[in-house]
Each structure stands twice: as structure tokens, then as C-alpha cells.
Amino acid sequence: MSVPQHELFIDGRRVPSAPQDRFDAVNPYTGLPHASVPRATPAQVDAAVAAARSAFPAWRAMPPVRRADMIRALADLLEADGDRMGDLESTDNGKVVRETRAQMRFAARQYRYFANLSENLQGATIPLDDPSLVDMTHAEPLGVCVLITAWNSPMGLLSNKLAPALAAGNTVVIKPSEHASVTTLEFMNLVERAGFPPGVVNVVTGEADVGRALTDRDDIAKISFTGSPGVGAAIAAVAGANLVPLTLELGGKSPNIIFADADLDAALSGAFAGIFAATGQTCVAGSRLLVERSVYDEVCTALAERSRTIRLGDPTVVETEMGTCANRQQYDRVLGHIEAARKDGARLIAGGGPAEDLQPGLFVQPTIFADVTPDMQLAQEEVFGPVLAVMPFDDEQHAVRIANDTRYGLAAGVWTRSIDRALRMTRELRAGTVWVNTYRAVAVQAPFGGFGHSGHGRERGTVALQDYLTTKNVMIDIGGATRDPFALRT
């Protein structure tokens, strides 16, 4: 059976690939190929960077209102095509359409938000000690930005990067994960229809060698990467050697903390949203559930019972609540973590293996381990799957110690009716985002990023735009008096 053939997008056109330079995109629900994806050659990577460099002078010089119009047009096109694009992403990575369709709408909102910021880029005038000097700043784009996204939310993650990069006046080369490239390649049809000049947006696809060819170079101005800490560290090493700034959005082992005074029904829903939504394949997954000891048994029992009601099935069906692991490699990795938790002595209270009745789909049962201790692998390593580690705590200080006892620091949740406790906890938790009485809530205005092995830099919000700009200072002498050429002016 033939499948759609996608091509690279370089300098405003599709670049055909030879048969040996292609690979299959596999539907993780059916196990069958659903598209053919190109594998970029080193020469094609060079061509994409060259196209972006060539397009940069005209793009940066374009009036911001014209750039903003194109970005808004892209938002309109994506929103209009959101259901189809969501269905395609669910086919590509196994995430349920109730989430992927919502992510398309969120991405469109993000493009509109940054289009508005693009029209309002401003410098400043700075009063100096010497009144004969006038000082001002200009906010200027960096140049060619390399944007690398992960397989769990390709279009959502891309909007975190592409929207501020374009709004700031940069040109880009995008590399999506080889495990989920199809929607990014399809998105280029919308980029073309929105009227972006050739070379402003380019896409190359392929495995790790394409990523290395794209990042280990000194003719780019910025790298923004979302993915694993190991790959992030490798990119940081070459970026440092080439003096290229970067934003890293990496993994997490986020604590979701339930106090005894919480609204337990709401907290249980938040716990489920934190780990079983998106099949746990999200960097902010609340994979460690910390529960105050006085309600610990009650919460564990309720979690186990509710987990058995989750509807697994075809990700493209709206009624499905949890889809597949995105690829075979991740499926095997999740099952390996489950086996390790058994060996470490964690108490299995729900799930614990493949959903065999749904094979060949890459389904893992919603899995919950209780009595997990902080030293266990399940408490320290990111699983990136539907596996929850439940841990008891005695008081606030104990909860904070457990919560902060990882190398990660991406997100955290706190469930309590006490505003005093909530404020204390948000101050003590080492995480880039802390939710109180909610979880996995997002907004385009709210900055997102982490500490430690969760990366550095921020996406979304006005702070994200600053990461794609540099500041130029301009100083003008309006005094006209003769100065001592050998004296420092202050």
C-alpha cells in the first residue's frame, strides 16, 4: 500500500529525496507505515542553513507589521486546519485527538500572541550621568535559529520556538524528531500559503546525524532544543565550543503534592491529568505523587479504582482517553522501568504491563506503584510513560525534601485549601512552574522552563521573545565640545 511521500522544505520549495534517503513514519496504534519521510543529507542541511542566512537580511529589515501579518495568517490557517492536523499528529505519535486538536488551537493562539509582540518591539532611551551624551538601545534579531522538537508534541513544541523566533525577525531551520516528523512537514504547506518569503522557514528531517550536522556549526545564531537531558548535554557541549547561545527544555520528574486538607476529588483528577493524560509522555508529567500520610491509603485506593476506568483505544477517536506510547523504543523503555520498580520493591496497585488485548498497538496499562521510596529508580529517573510513583510524607518540610530530591526541576503541583501553605510551598519548591490546585494548565503569556537537568532558558511569554533578540546600545554626543582623546568619558 502506498503512503504519502513528504519532502524537505528548503528555500521555499520541496526538495525531493532519493529512495535510499527515506524512512517510514509508523502509526503506533496499527504498527503500519502511514507516511514516508525524507532523511536529509549533509549537503541538504548546509543548503537549509545557507537559505536561512540568505533570507535573514530582508526578513529582519521587513517592517514588523508585515511580519506580524504573515504570522497571524499562519495562525488563521492552522486554526482552520486544526482538526485535520490534530488527527494527523495522533496518527503519527499515538496521542489522543482530544489533546492534539487542542494543541493546534493553542499553537494558533501562540502565533497570534507573538505577532502582537512583534509589532511592539521597543528599545529604550537611557539617561546618563553626562548630559551631553544621548543613549538608546535597539532590540535586534540574532540571525539563523535552529529549532529542534521532540516527538511527544511536535506542533505545540514548535510554536513555543517558531512564534517568538519569527516575531523577533530571525530566520529558522527546523528539525523535528525522526519519530514524529509528519505534521511539521505538512505545516510547511501553511507556511507557504501564509506568504513567508523563501528561506525564512526551512525544515530538514532525519535521525541524530542530521541533528549533529545542524547544531555543530558556527554559522548559526541560536539553538533551541526540546528533548532528553543526554542529547541536550551533547548539544550544549558543541554550542559552547562554537559560542552559540541556546535554550534547553529537557526532562522532568515532577512532584504532585496532595495535602490532607485538599479537595481530594479535585486532587485525584489533577493526579490523573498529571500522569495519564498524554499517556504520561510529557515533560511536566506529575510522575511522583506525594500524599500526606493521614490520607495516603484513601488516595491510593481511589487511584487504583479510577485507573481501571480509563478508556484506552484508537487515538483518533474522540472518546479515547489514553493512547499509545509513541514508538517501539519508548514502549520498551517504559516496560523496563515497570520491571525495575517491581525489583526495587515498590508495591504495584494498578496496571503493570502491556495492554495485550489492544496489540499491535503500543499500549501500556495505566500503572501505579505505591510505597515508593526516594532512592528507587522510579523516583529518580524520568519514565515518560503512564507510570505513577506514589510516596507518603509527614509534613510540609518532609514534602519539600522529597520533592526537591531529584536532579530535575521543571514543574510541581500543590493541592491544599490553605493559602498560607500554598505560598510557602511555591517558595520552597525548586521548579520552573508550580501549579496550585490545578495541573498541566498552560497559557501563552506564562513563561515555561526549568532548573537543573530540566534545562535553562524560558519559552512562552514576553521573556521568550527576549531570548531571540540581542540588545544594541547606541551613544550619541550632542555636546559638540572638544574632548581629551586620551581620557575615558564617564
Residues 116 and 220 in one domain: yes
Contact 448, 160 (CB under 8 A): yes
The H or E element containing residue 328 is helix 328-344
Would you say residue 480 lies in a domain?
A: no
CATH number reported for the structural domain that contains residue 172 in this entry: 3.40.605.10
Over its C-alpha atoms, the chain yields an Rg (Å, rounded) of: 24
Would you say residue 351 lies in a domain?
A: yes
CATH number reported for the structural domain that contains residue 419 in this entry: 3.40.309.10
Q: Tell me the pLDDT tens digit for each residue of 402-444.
A: 999 999 999 999 999 999 999 999 999 999 999 999 999 999 9
Please confirm, yes or no, whether 249 is among the known catalytic residues.
yes
Residues 237 and 267 in one domain: no
Contact 362, 94 (CB under 8 A): yes
Residues 65 and 184 in one domain: yes
**What is the count of structural domains for the chain?**
2
Tell me: pLDDT of 179 over 70: yes
- pLDDT on residue 490: 79
Query: Per DSSP, what are the bridge partners of residue 341?
Result: none
Q: What is the domain range of residue 93?
A: 8-250+454-473
Residues 274 and 408 in one domain: yes
DSSP string, 3-59: --B--EEETTEEE---GGGEEEEEPTTT-SEEEEEE---HHHHHHHHHHHHHHHHHH
Would you say residue 486 lies in a domain?
A: no
Would you say residue 2 lies in a domain?
A: no
Contact 441, 456 (CB under 8 A): no
Q: How far apart are CA 27 and CA 106, in angstroms?
A: 24
- pLDDT on residue 480: 75
Residues 12 and 155 in one domain: yes
Would you say residue 264 lies in a domain?
A: yes
**Annotated active-site residue in 7, 186, 249, 396:** 249
**Annotated active-site residue in 89, 186, 283, 382:** 283
Residues 48 and 92 in one domain: yes
Residues 130 and 216 in one domain: yes
Residues 263 and 322 in one domain: yes
Q: Tell me the pLDDT tens digit for each residue of 284-301.
A: 999 999 999 999 999 999
Q: Tell me the pLDDT tens digit for each residue of 327-357.
A: 999 999 999 999 999 999 999 999 999 999 9
**Main-chain phi, psi angles of 89, to 5 degrees:** -65, -40
Residues 204 and 107 in one domain: yes
Where does the pLDDT of residue 456 fall: very low under 50, low under 70, confident under 90, or very high at 90 and above? Answer: very high
Determine the average pLDDT of the residues in 187-205: 98
Residues 336 and 202 in one domain: no
Tell me: pLDDT of 1 over 70: no
Write the CA distances from 155 to 14, 68, 181, 337, integer angstroms: 20, 20, 10, 28
Would you say residue 449 lies in a domain?
A: no
Residues 61 and 205 in one domain: yes
Would you say residue 169 lies in a domain?
A: yes
Contact 367, 352 (CB under 8 A): yes
Residues 238 and 274 in one domain: no
Would you say residue 488 lies in a domain?
A: no
Residue 78, class by beta-carbon neighbours within 10 Å (0-12 exposed, 13-18 middle, 19+ buried)? buried
